[in-house]
Amino acid sequence: MSTLTLDPTVATQARPPRAEPAPIPFRRVLLVELRKMFDTRSGFWLMASIVVASVIATALTVLLGDRETLSFDSFAAAVGSPMSIVLPIIGVLAVTSEWSQRTALTTFTLVPSRPRVIGAKAVNVLAIGALSMLVALAIGALGNLVTAAITGNEAVWDITAGTFSQIVLANELGMMLGFALGLLLRSSPAAVVGYFVVNLVLPGLSSALASSQQWWAENAGWFDLNATRFLLFDSTLTTQEWTQLAITSGLWIVLPLAIGLRLVLRSEVK
**How far apart are CB 92 and other proteins at their closest, in Å?**
16
1 sits near other proteins (criterion: CB under 8 A): yes
CB 240 within 8 A of CB 94: no
CB distance 46 to 125 below 8 Å: no
Residue 27 binds to other proteins (criterion: CB under 8 A) = no
Residue numbers 215-254 binding other proteins by CB under 8 A? none
The C-alpha angle with vertex 238 and arms to 232 and 241, in degrees rounded to 5, equals 65
Alpha helix positions (H), 101-229: 104-110, 114-151, 161-185, 188-196, 202-212, 214-219, 225-229
The CA distance from 199 to 216, in Å, is 18
Q: Whole-angstrom Cα distance, residue 130 to residue 173? A: 11
- For residues 41 to 60, the per-residue mask of contacts with other proteins, x marking binding by CB under 8 A and - elsewhere, is xxx-----------------
Residues 70-89 that bind other proteins (CB under 8 A): none
Is residue 263 within 8 Å of residue 184, measured between CB atoms? Answer: yes
Contacts of 35 (CB under 8 A, 6+ apart): none
Is 109 a binding residue for other proteins by CB under 8 A? The answer is: yes
Please identify, using beta-carbon distances, which residue of 29 and 170 lies nearer to other proteins. 29
66 binds other proteins (CB under 8 A): no
**Considering the rule CB under 8 A, would residue 23 count as an interface residue with other proteins?**
yes
Residue 26 interacting with other proteins (CB under 8 A): no
Stretch that binds other proteins, among 51-59, 94-102, 161-169, 212-220 (CB under 8 A): 94-102
Instruction: Please give the helix or strand (H or E) that residue 53 lies within, else none.
Output: helix 41-64
Question: Quick one: 2 or 212, whose CB is closer to other proteins?
Answer: 2
Single residue of 106, 165, 211, 235 touching other proteins by CB under 8 A? 106
Q: Check: CB of residue 245 under 8 Å from CB of residue 229.
A: yes
As measured in angstroms, the least distance from the Cβ of 9 to other proteins is: 12
Binding span for other proteins by CB under 8 A among 32-40, 69-77, 211-219, 231-239: 32-40
Residue 152 Cβ vs other proteins, minimum distance, rounded to whole Å: 48
Q: Smallest distance, Å, CB 174 to other proteins? A: 25
What is d(CA 240, CA 237) in angstroms, rounded to the nearest whole number? 8
Query: Which of 48, 51, 52, 110 is the binder for other proteins (CB under 8 A)?
Result: 110
Beta carbons within 8 Å of 68's beta carbon, 6+ residues apart = 151, 153
CA angle 239-170-137, nearest 5°?
Answer: 120
20 counts as binding other proteins under rule CB under 8 A: yes
Interface residues toward other proteins, by CB under 8 A: 1-7, 10-15, 18, 20-24, 28-29, 31-32, 35-36, 39-43, 97, 101-103, 105-106, 108-113, 266, 268-270
